[in-house]
Amino acid sequence: MAENFYLDEPALDSVADGILVTGTNFTSAYKDLDGVLTATQGCWGDDEIGKAFEKNYWENGEKVWTGTEGAGEGLTETSKNMKKSAANLSSVDEETAKWLDSQIEEE
């Protein structure tokens, strides 16, 4: 078992901020690309090649695209939860230290 446990809050905040930026950028890029894909859906035509493209690409691509939609929000929420967890750990650590100090003072 470790004798010391240490949370580098500034480092955690920096990592969480990076994840937040990544999530925000991902969501923005997703929305931009979604707009382009929606606007151009069907542009490949109704001929044999166009139908083959739609069958082989679009249907499978749409499944991946739907699954990707929440990734940016997931990253953003991960960042927020990291910071909340760090704040909770810090608070518990401070409360425990105060309690231990009070126990020593009573003796």
Number of domains in the chain: 1
Could you tell me the CATH number of the domain that includes residue 73? 1.10.287
Rounded to whole angstroms, the Cα distance separating 54 from 65 reads 14
Q: What is the token pair recorded at 28?
A: 């923005």
Does residue 107 belong to any structural domain of this protein? no
Does residue 106 belong to any structural domain of this protein? no
pLDDT digits (tens, 9 = 90+) for 68-91: 889 999 999 999 999 999 999 989
Rounded to whole angstroms, the Cα distance separating 56 from 62 reads 11
Which residues are CB-contacts of 27 (< 8 A; sequence separation ≥ 6)? 72, 73, 76
Does residue 99 belong to any structural domain of this protein? no
pLDDT digits (tens, 9 = 90+) for 14-64: 999 999 999 999 999 999 988 888 888 777 788 898 888 888 887 777 788
Strand ranges inside 43-82, DSSP E? none
